[in-house]
Each structure stands twice: as C-alpha cells, then as structure tokens.
C-alpha cells in the first residue's frame, strides 16, 4: 500500500515545479508591453501618405518572426519590416528597437525607413 502513495507525491512535486518554471518568465516579459502597448515610430515618414505599423500584443507574446506590411495610407509604394523572435523578446524586456524597413523597389524612388519599436512608458 505504500508504493502508490509515494508515486502520487513524487508526481505532484514534479508537476508543480514544471508549472512554476513555464509561466513566470513569459508573463513578466509581456507585462511591460501589456501596460504600455507597443509604440511604433516610422522615421522620415511621408507627409502625404504616411506609412503605419501596428504590432499586436499577441505577436510579442508569441515571439515568432513576423513580417509586417507598413504601406499604410501611401498609395504609391509600400515597405515591409521584419521583426524576429529575438527582437520580440528584447522588446518585451524593455529594449527600444530600431529596425530598417525594406526598400520600395520602385525605380527613382528608392528609400527605406528606420522604424523604432518600444514597450517602455512614453515620456
Ligand atoms: Zn516610404
């Protein structure tokens, strides 16, 4: 009769360790972004036909590489910005990221935009 009880105890202890390790890090990292949102800024944006970038909290939590279309209101050309898994992790930890958008690819209108992303409180 002793053996089954011992097994249940060992299982319960192991299970509680696994739960604690799995949840703490991710939730803490996401809290900064959940509180402040993800602020984005597109440098050298066009006065007429501004590009826009919205980064969902779910993307930060997932921490999987995403390529965003930032064309926004521009009818002439678009760009994309790729945020890697490591970028999302850094963002959630409070790092201000500066990424470079893709080129337009349009002859005579070649340009890129630096794009900043931050979960830090706005000052
Ligand atoms: Zn542009």
- Decide if 16 is inside a domain: no
- Decide if 22 is inside a domain: no
- Decide if 1 is inside a domain: no
Query: Ligand 1: distance of its center to the CA of 82 in Å?
Result: 15
Query: Ligand 1: distance of its center to the CA of 29 in Å?
Result: 32
Contact 82, 100 (CB under 8 A): no
Query: Ligand 1: distance of its center to the CA of 56 in Å?
Result: 22
- Decide if 6 is inside a domain: no
- Decide if 104 is inside a domain: yes
Q: Tokens for 14?
A: 């192991």
Q: Which domain holds residue 112?
A: 29-118
**Distance from C-alpha of 91 to C-alpha of 74, rounded to nearest angstrom:** 27
pLDDT, tens digit only, all 123 positions of the chain: 566 655 555 555 555 554 444 444 444 447 899 999 999 999 999 999 999 999 999 999 999 999 999 999 999 999 999 999 999 999 999 999 999 999 987 777 799 999 999 999 876
Query: Ligand 1: distance of its center to the CA of 89 in Å?
Result: 27
How many separate domains does the chain show?
Answer: 1
Stated pTM of the model? 0.74
């Amino acid at each position: 009769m002793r053996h089954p009880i011992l097994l249940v105890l060992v299982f319960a202890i192991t299970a509680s360790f696994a739960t604690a390790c799995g949840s703490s890090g991710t939730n803490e990292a996401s809290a900064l972004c959940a509180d402040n949102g993800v602020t984005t800024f597109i440098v050298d944006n066009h006065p007429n036909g501004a590009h826009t970038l919205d980064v969902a909290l779910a993307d930060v939590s997932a921490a999987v590489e995403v390529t965003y279309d930032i064309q926004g209101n521009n009818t002439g050309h678009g760009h994309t910005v790729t945020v890697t898994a490591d970028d999302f992790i850094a963002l959630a930890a409070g790092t201000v990221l500066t990424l470079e958008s893709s080129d337009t690819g349009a002859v005579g209108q070649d340009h890129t935009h630096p794009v900043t992303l931050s979960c830090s409180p706005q000052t």
